[in-house]
Amino acid sequence: MTTDRRTAIVEGAARVMARRGVRGLRVEELAADAGVSTALVYYHFKDRAGILRHTLEFISDRADRYTADKEEGPTGPLDPHEELERSLLLEFQDRPEVRENSTAWGELRPSAVFEPELRTDLARAGLTRVHDIATLLGQACPRVPAPVLTASAERLTALAEGLSTRWPSGTLTATHARELAREAPSAETGHLDRRWNADNDTSMDGHAAAAASTCP
């Protein structure tokens, strides 16, 4: 029961945050949304900072779940390029929990300017996502060194974050956001291929360089 109530509170906080923003989060409204008393909210989370920290953790975990869903293609398991594309596109599912997550994330990021206690947790969540994307890039481009993969993953996650703040508001449709995001992995791996081969295969002739392509 305690776990159920804690979950209800953080779910309620995510909903209120998506509607009101971080600065508009009020414990009384949160308690009413979650169907609990304000005293119970403070019992579980101590203060507003605790509510924000655990809600951020909940939103991050939920995003991890819906972006890590595995699926096979028509001919079997997805290859690394397909897996990378799928991981990004799952952020633009037109589902209530994804829309709520995208909206809440869009409220959390700028709020960290005024809420210093959010910065460390936001940075940690961002680094986790960058690491996940860098791992997929490494599978697609195994010869590229880790720092280059990390920079590439930062570009892809920054694009996804930017698009994810637009489609819930109607600035972009979810379909168009997916179209824009779908092109990014191929463009990024193509960039890595050209850059890494140019830096490391200058002594090869054209046929040898093509055969040594980093991102097949």
User: Mean pLDDT in the chain?
Assistant: 85
Predicted confidence band of residue 213 (pLDDT cuts 50, 70, 90): very low
- The pTM (predicted TM-score) of the whole model is 0.80
Q: Which residue type sits at 177?
A: A
pLDDT on residue 189: 92
Is the pLDDT score of 69 beyond 90? no
CA distance 215 to 83: 14
Name which of 113-117, 130-134, 178-182 the model is least confident about. Answer: 113-117
Identify the band that residue 200 occupies on the pLDDT scale cut at 50, 70 and 90. low
Residue 170 in this model has a pLDDT that exceeds 70 = yes
The whole-angstrom separation of Cα 58 and Cα 32 is 19
pLDDT tens per residue, range 22-64: 888 899 999 999 999 999 999 999 998 899 889 999 998 998 8
Asked whether 133 and 145 are in contact (CB, 8 A), the reply is no
pLDDT for 70 equals 59
- Residue 194 pLDDT: 85
